[in-house]
Amino acid sequence: MIAINTLFLWSEFMDGLSPISAAIIAGKIESVRTPLMIIELIAIATLFVDLVVRYDRIKSRLKALHILAVGFCVASFIFQIFVYYMDSAFLK
């Protein structure tokens, strides 16, 4: 999940550093965008519910890392929805 979100952010923001790799990543993601976003929604909802339900049982040294990872996934998914649906609504 983190790898998919990192690739998305790389293709959106790092296209100036490496335009060829950003274009390749964007092209590969574009071909499977809808099923990927549905699976990602289910996975992120599961991660969030797991975090809330098992919060007291998570080891204290891993709590901050767990919360940051889930927060990164949620924020990145919301950003993906904003970018792709706004892009499709206004630019195409």
pLDDT in tens, 67-77: 999 998 899 88
Residues in the chain: 92
20-58: pLDDT as tens digits = 776 777 777 777 878 888 888 999 999 999 999 999 998
The answer to whether 74 touches 3, Cβ cutoff 8 Å, is no
Three-class SS state of 92:
coil
- Full domain range(s) for residue 66: 2-90
**Two structure tokens written together for 47:** 């991660």
Q: What is the number of domains present in the chain?
A: 1
The reported pTM is 0.70
Measured from the Cβ of residue 78, the count of other Cβ atoms closer than 10 Å reads 11
